A and B are shown apart, each in its own frame.
Chain A
């Protein structure tokens, strides 16, 4: 295999957008006024993150944040998640969970997320599909989102 191709494949996983969000995660903060929260645990590596949501009376996610530590993939995914779900309805956030996790695990989605929600940035995570052992890193935060919305305290990637 030549070096160019090899670099391309690795760079497909560690895209600039991923590295940027991993280095400077957005909304990396605890929400003291969170209405919903859940912890995501990846038993493979022991990495943990806690997701916070502030959901208002109209069932809209008005703020999202997270804390924790993890690999570049899991941190970037959590960071992108908080950007994606802020200012959308809980139902749409749940639809995003379904779309993103199906896309990452199956490679396709039922397009459950409404088209008005821009999931294009999350395409940056698609590279993990080539690395089966890393898919759970990318889905961890999304499982925490699903758990938080459904008032479960903990999500694992198992």
Chain B
């Protein structure tokens, strides 16, 4: 085989050693982790930041006058500042810390949409969306009498822009769409779409769960109104996430949850809510996880988002080339602009059978509907196999996957 080796970003190869979980055998083989789109592994820097906090600095935030509480608050709010810079938000008041993308989207549904939507209004999404960008809107539509409408996608897994723009001419109040499709890897042309939505007076939320791990995100340049993302897809801890929102919009929105930390003054007659972003952060937050997320931001910036994008692009091309050489492979998702997420089918082998066979060879892929059942239905499938590549993957990982797929083909021959 004289397969040309792709030119990968040289410094990235060493990053693999930063992830302790990758250095293990699974089912008698060295682990090949191709499921970062479901949840990415954490670098030692994140694990150690969390451990350091737990060992030395743990206390509740925003409360005590004692030293540990002060340290915990500094670390927690320091992570917020890092996240602000990471997505280029205009102010730290715009960084609402949540448990993840799902909570961020639900917050907008319940706090922005529920009080303002009327019967006859529409919420516009696309056929590409993850269940977490479908169900919260169905709930709020039921509560308000608004209608959920869906823009179609083509056979490559790209949004049909003409149809999306046609739908924008209706009584649409909010457009919510993914930055990158989790099931198909499609990178949506956000600048153009947001521009059209703004001209139509539509508020725009971007589900950035699969965007932030792969590319530089600048919310001011995007000019959207909300951007939601999760910590664990970007090499941080689970149970962490962000809702970025325009300050003017967040100011107008009522609190989403009630409790401690989100108030200035409470009496039984009247409660004065805290300022942004604390108004939306009732209860003791995920302090350790958020500190870990801050460390993940530092880590990503030290590697460089542009380096990560370049590395993943080259590796994804290598994967697609190699898959094309496997008899019976059908790629699901062939967008012209695609992140390093690739769904596929192999002959008529059910994805779960494929998943078990490759797992047996130490390879972790995602199989099933990827919490995006409408996408699967669009392609007439109940599920797919999906390999997602992160900054720590390399061509050996891809080669191992290909060998494992060949074996699956033999078993089901």
Contact = CB atoms under 8 A, between A and B. Distances in A.
B352 A137 contact: yes
A45 B382 contact: yes
B368 A46 contact: yes
B357 A45 contact: no
A71 B353 contact: yes
B257 interface: no
Interface in B351-381: 351-353, 356-357, 360-361, 367-369, 373, 376
A45 B356 contact: no
Contact of A46 (B27, B357, B383, B412): B383
Nearest to B357: A10
B325 interface: no
Contacts of B411: 10-11, 14, 19
B376 to A, nearest CB: 8
A133 to B, nearest CB: 8
B120 to A, nearest CB: 33
Contacts of A137: 352
A19 B59 CA distance: 57
B369 A46 contact: yes
A112 B288 CA distance: 51
Contacts of A1: 27-29
Interface in A58-89: 69-73
A71 B368 contact: no
A158 interface: no
B372 to A, nearest CB: 11
B350 interface: yes
A19 B408 CA distance: 12
A157 to B, nearest CB: 13
Interface string B205-236: 00000000000000000000000000000000
A103 interface: no
Contact of B353 (A6, A69, A73): A73
Contacts of B352: 45, 71, 73, 134, 137
A60 to B, nearest CB: 33
Nearest to A2: B28
Interface residues of A, number: 21
Residue in B349, B356, B369, B373 whose Cβ sees the most chain A Cβ within 10 Å:
B356
A69 B390 CA distance: 32
Nearest to B25: A1
B368 A19 contact: no
B360 A10 contact: yes
Nearest to A73: B353
Nearest to A42: B352
Nearest to A47: B382
A70 B373 contact: no
A85 B356 CA distance: 29
Given A45-B368, A46-B368, A72-B350, A6 B360 contact: yes
B360 A72 contact: no
A6 B368 CA distance: 25
A11 B368 CA distance: 22
A125 interface: no
A69 B368 contact: no
A56 B183 CA distance: 47
Contact of B382 (A6, A11, A46): A46
Given A10-B411, A47-B382, A72 B368 contact: no
B369 A45 contact: yes
A72 B353 contact: yes
Contact of B383 (A11, A45, A72, A133): A45
B11 to A, nearest CB: 34
Contacts of A73: 352-353
A106 to B, nearest CB: 21
A133 B382 CA distance: 18
A13 interface: yes
A20 B353 CA distance: 15
B368 A44 contact: yes
Q: Which of A13, A45, A137 has the most CB of B within 10 A?
A: A45
8 contacts: A1-B27, A14-B412, A45-B352, A46-B368, A46-B383, A47-B382, A70-B350, A71-B352
Q: Which 3 residue pairs of A and B lie closest in terms of their CB atoms, listed nearest first?
A: A1-B28, A71-B350, A71-B352
Given A14-B357, A44-B368, A46-B383, 4 more contacts: A45-B351, A46-B369, A46-B376, A134-B352
